[in-house]
Structure 1
Amino acid sequence: MASGAPRIFVSHLAGVAVFDPNGDQVGRVRDLVAMLRVGRRPPRLLGLVVELPTRRRIFLPMTRVTGIESGQVITTGVLNVRRFEQRPTERLVFGELLDRRVRLTETGEEVTVLDVSVRQLPARREWEIDRVFVRKGRDGSSPRGGKGRIALPWTGGGRRAGETLTVDWSAVTGFSLEEQGQGAENLLATFEQLRPADLANVLHHLSPKRRAEVAAALDDARLADVLEELPEDDQIEILGKLAEERAADVLEAMDPDDAADLLGELPEDDQERLLSLMQPADAADMRRLMAYEERTAGGLMTTEPVVLRPDATVADALARVRNPDLSPALAAQVYVCRPPDETPTGRYLGTVHFQRLLRDPPYTLVGALIDDDLQPLGPEAALPVVAGFFAAYDMVAAPVVDESGSLLGVVTVDDVLDHMLPDDWRETEFHLEEGEAADGV
């Protein structure tokens, strides 16, 4: 970035691609690392936390950043792929500075930090945080107590958001104090476009205190999606810090198989207490799944596939699989059964694949398109048998049927992979050697 270039608000850098001089993408910005200084001197910006395609997070010093422009970061091309570890003197800008409550030194008024800006010092390769964009009112609320929308510096604010202003770093105080009730709204706004797995990775790298605050700020559905992607220890920690009623709501919003797995890790008394707070139908699904061994088809399956009667049409089936809440694996095929339509269903008749639905007229009955060549899985089928079934027939989902012929649920390929990978796979990058990662950057 050339000397004298305008300042950059850090919210513009979240998730920005990082490129080497040849134009090859090496990762994405996940945070910025700053070091606070004595008195009112602006903090030094030490570098960026960059997430590689392997999900490893590394530290990119600002001395190796040659440009920040047009929504991208350009580096010298020389990266150290050692995993990033935060030092005691360092602060993560997204994780620790945004949403913080500080005070204006001139008036003592409490304000909430919405964003900060960085700039490169003239004639040097050093960077610093120079300005702070804040909103007046405790917890960033408007004077009347309404939450309002976040007003970022380039939007001009909003009528209901409360007064916002941009001040020099020296005009505020309170960043060095331990925050006891830090909000999370602006951090979440920064990462709102992340997939659940990527947001889970963000949470995993936060401190336990900050992780609990962010989890509390997520809505039930988003938190459920993120919990499904977190390591088991993080799941239990977060669930344990929620009020019991909310914990039950979040479990209901999770995929039944993932919720059952999480419940199975809790003490029996906690299990029963949470199950008693759920809707009876959801609790029944949980109890049914928890009755199976974890590494069997019954323990892996979800109880919410797309089930249709044989007299449903192709148009009906396509309308069902268009549901954006369905995973790609669950939307790949529909399961034709006699009533009842909820699992456990009446007699399972067969499967109709999505591609077949696209090839036939909308008025065609799904009962005429059934594929019943493959023997379905039994609920007691062990994980190696399930994996072999998926590999042999190139499946993304497979029905689980009991001895009476009722459809109990569906195993999807992502659940098979979850149980075949090492237990700590979510806590590590994809399994590439460091040399391979270095070659890629």
Structure 2
Amino acid sequence: MAAGASRVFVSHLSGVPVFDPNGDQVGRVRDLVAMLRVGGRPPRLLGFVVEVVSRRRIFLPMTRVTGIDSGQVITTGVVNMRRFEQRPTERLVLGEFLDRRVRLVETDEEVTILDVAIQQLPARRDWEIVKYFVRKGRGGALRRKGETLTVDWSAVSGFSLEEHGQGAESLVATFERLRPTDVANALHHLSPKRRAEVAAALDDDRLADVLEELPEDDQVEILGKLKEERAADVLEAMDPDDAADLLSELPEEDKERLLMLMRPDDAADVRRLMSYEERTAGGLMTTEPIVLRPDATVADALARVRRSDLSPALAAQVYVCRPPDETPTGKYLGAVHFQRLLRDPPFTLVSSIVDSDLVPLTPDTPLSVVTSYLAAYNLVSVPVVDESGSLLGAVTVDDVLDHLLPEDWRETDFHGEEWVAHGG
């Protein structure tokens, strides 16, 4: 973008790729850093918060940005890989400006900031905040009432005060394209106050997916700030094994109160998982694998595998059992792998192609044996049965990895370099 040629609205920059001069991707934009200034000067844009491949968040100064164009940011060849740490004088534009309620200087009318425009100064590399896109009244970005208008930065006041009860609709809107693990990473780097506001704005299913990707301390903090009825709804939306892990971190009194608020069937699954030792097949398993009756066809199995809410590991195979279909099932007969389903005609009964040679695990099987089993047979999921031969659930490889990696792996970088050269 030519210097001073046009304005850029920051909502369009969330998640865009950052490239080095050779066209190699360095990472993605997760926020922008600005500094409020005195003396009637507009806020200065200091740089970008960029999430690199290792999921580390680094600071990319505007002095190292050579272009913002066509949904991408171009940087110089050397990037400082030191982790970004926000300073007291700095403000995160996406995290702290969007949804903030301020006042129009001229009329003292309250408005909500929906977007922020930045612009490069002529003949300089400095960038400043020049415009705010606002909505009159107290409505956020997702509310249709209220006039919207674009005003100069100097036309609003209220940034010097800490705001209580700040909305989160506009920030949540920027998360729509992100995977749950990326949203979780964004939440982890917000202040506790802002984290609670964003969590309150996410719907139950989305928040459940995000909670599953957060460190335990963040999970407990967010759940504790939700109303109990909503906390129970979110726990119901989580995978039972993840809900059980989270509840296990709570005091006994809080745990029982939330379980009583959950639907009886969901609470029963979670209670059953909590009865097993943590580092065993029973403690690792999910109670919601794909279960089919013997008279189901390949077409039926493929229809179940196609469900978008299934993880790849759970969709890799189906388990054939006698009724009832929900865990604990009737007698477990065997598994059919996804590749086998693709090779047989749609009308084929799954009972005729079932793999019954692999011995299922018992719920007290230790983690080390589960890991060896998955590795030895090149599996991504393994069935768990009780003494009577009923299917209790399945352990997936991602659940095993969660317990093999260090406890703080979600907060740990994959690489330790302080400086990495991208294209020289």
TM-score, L = length of structure 2: 0.98
| Separation of aligned partners in 2, 1:319 and 1:279 | 27
SS at match of 1:79: strand
Change in Cα spacing, 1:439 to 1:407, as seen in structure 2 (3 Å) is farther
> What does 1:355-370 correspond to in 2, within 5 Å?
355-370=339-354
> Residue 154 of structure 1 aligns with which residue?
none
| Corresponding pairs, count | 423
Contact preservation (8 Å) 2:78, 2:420: no
Structure 2 residue 382 is matched with structure 1 residue 398 = yes
Letter in 1 for 2:22: N
> Residue 157 of structure 1 aligns with which residue?
none
Contact preservation (8 Å) 2:140, 2:168: no
> Residue 51 of structure 1 aligns with which residue?
51
Structure 2 residue 168 is matched with structure 1 residue 179 = no
> Residue 27 of structure 2 aligns with which residue?
27
Contact preservation (8 Å) 1:136, 1:164: yes
| Separation of aligned partners in 1, 2:17 and 2:139 | 32
Structure 2 residue 356 is matched with structure 1 residue 372 = yes
State, as a whole percentage, how many aligned pairs show the same letter.
80
| Separation of aligned partners in 2, 1:342 and 1:315 | 20
> What does 1:31-430 correspond to in 2, within 5 Å?
31-140=31-140, 148=143, 160-430=144-414
| Separation of aligned partners in 2, 1:218 and 1:210 | 13
| Separation of aligned partners in 2, 1:267 and 1:429 | 31
Question: Does 1 or 2 have the higher relative contact order (CA < 8 Å, sep 6+)?
Answer: 2
Letter in 2 for 1:116: V
Contact preservation (8 Å) 2:383, 2:393: yes
Change in Cα spacing, 1:355 to 1:87, as seen in structure 2 (3 Å) is same
Unmatched 5+ residue regions in structure 2?
none
Contact preservation (8 Å) 2:367, 2:400: yes
Note the alpha carbon deviations across 1:111-133, whole angstroms, 9 max, x for none.
00000100111111111000000
TM-score, L = length of structure 1: 0.94
| Separation of aligned partners in 2, 1:386 and 1:140 | 48
SS at match of 1:55: coil
Note the alpha carbon deviations across 1:122-174, whole angstroms, 9 max, x for none.
11111100000000111348xxxxx63xxxxxxxxxxx442110000000001
Letter in 1 for 2:228: E
Note the alpha carbon deviations across 1:200-225, whole angstroms, 9 max, x for none.
00000000000000000000000000
SS at match of 2:68: strand
SS at match of 1:138: coil
| Separation of aligned partners in 2, 1:242 and 1:125 | 44
| Separation of aligned partners in 2, 1:336 and 1:300 | 21
- How far residue 428 of structure 1 moved from its aligned partner, in angstroms, is 1.7
Aligned CA RMSD, in angstroms, stands at 1.2
SS at match of 1:238: helix
Letter in 2 for 1:427: E
| Separation of aligned partners in 2, 1:112 and 1:175 | 12
> Residue 438 of structure 1 aligns with which residue?
420
